[in-house]
Amino acid sequence: MRNIRSAGLVLALVSAAAFSTSGSLAGSLIAAGWTPGAAVIARLVLAAAVLTVPAVLALRGRWSLLRTRARTVVVYGALAVAGAQFAYFNAVSHLSVGVALLLEYQGIVLVVLWLWLRHGRRPRPLVLAGSAVAIVGLALVLDVVGGFRLDGVGVLWGLLAAVGMAVYFVLASDEDEPLPPLALSGAGLWIGALLLLGLAVTGLIPVRATAAPVTLAGHQVSWLVPVLGLSLVAAALAYVLGILGARILGATVASFVGLAEVLFAVGFAWLFVGQVPTVLQAVGGVVVIAGVTLVRIGELRSGHDAPVPAEEPVAAPV
């Protein structure tokens, strides 16, 4: 059992690392003239296309699962994929990136609340303490104090992104979900991609792309490099491994391990675009790890060290 949990932790960490590359890769495209909407649509469409054949093979003719689990797929694609990303990009148009991310990562608190309200899993004091410590560490890593500015509309979008994140972890952790991770990821990505394409067609998302070279790690490279990285690593690989890890760890622990995405993102920003982390960010990283450790210990002591079914994720508290 311990080996299985360790494998789940590794999968969740690799998923977080894969997700964390999206900021630097998308940033290089945006700096070259792409709109955020164009970058995320390219990311989802290519990732969905790449996962189509593996998803079909994973189903092995069990097409009825797509019909019986249509609600889960639609909720996952609409809220966890398209909704979270659309809301986050709108949040950063009104708030600093640090504040927007801090709001989005309140999703981990929503996961704890959902498991308490829906499944009666009252969090132990260690879990609550770990939550508070992790959020403080996250604020230090993101340096929200230095770039803090408040906008009511931006806060609303940030909280909607948090709901999308919470839905992702709750749905991904359902070990009783009959859809294989490849099938859920592939179908969800297609739902998310089609929804965002629809928003783009109606003009709600501005879409503009260019074939100009982009700058990564101080070198001029083709625009295909970040686009393929966004789709293959930051989407296809990240979503599949994230579901696998969450089904082993459970929603609470998986969501807190997901905070490692921010730490990895700081490292990739250092590597790709030369943004050297500050001492305060390093201290924040240690604080985040301490908070995640407290949550993990609290889950072990409570006996809730297993995933919990999530049949009704739509009602996650806001």
Q: What tens digit of pLDDT does each residue of 186-241 get?
A: 999 999 999 999 989 998 888 999 999 998 777 899 999 999 999 999 899 999 99
> Under DSSP, is residue 220 helix (H, G, I), strand (E, B) or coil?
strand
> How far is 25 from 28, CA to CA, in rounded Å?
5
Tell me which of 205 and 266 has the higher pLDDT: 205
pLDDT above 80 for 282: no
Give residue 80's identity as a one-letter amino acid code.
A
**Cα–Cα distance for residue pair 37/265, rounded to 1 Å:** 20
- Coil/strand/helix, residue 216: strand
Interacting residues of 115 by C-beta distance below 8 A, sequence separation 6+: 121, 123, 251, 252, 304, 308
Please name the residue ranges forming H helices in the chain.
2-31, 36-59, 64-68, 70-75, 84-92, 97-104, 107-119, 125-142, 152-172, 181-201, 224-228, 238-249, 251-257, 260-273, 279-302
| pTM confidence score | 0.78
The amino acid at 182: L
Higher pLDDT, 162 or 94: 162
Tokens 């390219």 sit at which residue?
A: 42
> What value does the mean pLDDT of the chain take?
81
- Spatial separation of the C-alpha atoms in residues 81 and 169, rounded to whole Å: 11
Closest CA to 11 of 220, 239, 176, 236: 239
Strands 214-216 and 219-221: antiparallel
CA distances from 187 to 33, 72, 88, 217 (A): 30, 10, 22, 33
Separation CA 42–CA 228 (nearest Å): 9
Section 244-252 average pLDDT: 85
Distances (CA, A) of 17 to 35, 75, 203, 233: 24, 24, 32, 9
Radius of gyration of the chain (CA): 19
Neighbours of 201 (CB within 10 A): 10
Pick from 43-52, 91-100, 253-262: least confident: 91-100
Contact 32, 210 (CB under 8 A): yes
Closest by CA position to 249, among listed 15, 9, 2, 17 = 9
63 pLDDT tier (thresholds 50, 70, 90): confident
Residue with tokens 């879990």: 127
What's residue 210's pLDDT? 93
Rounded Cα–Cα distance for residues 166 and 318 (Å): 10
pLDDT at 112 over 90: no
Share of the chain above pLDDT 70, in %: 85
Tell me the per-residue pLDDT of 296-313, one tens digit each, with 9 for 90 and over. Answer: 677 666 655 444 444 433
What is the percent of the chain where pLDDT is above 90?
Answer: 28
Contact between 316 and 112 (Cβ < 8 Å)? no
Q: What is the pLDDT of residues 6-33, one digit of tens each?
A: 888 899 889 988 887 877 788 788 888 8
- Amino acid identity at 312: E
Residue 213 is predicted with a pLDDT of 92
User: Which one, of 262, 269, 316, lies nearest residue 291 by Cα?
Assistant: 262
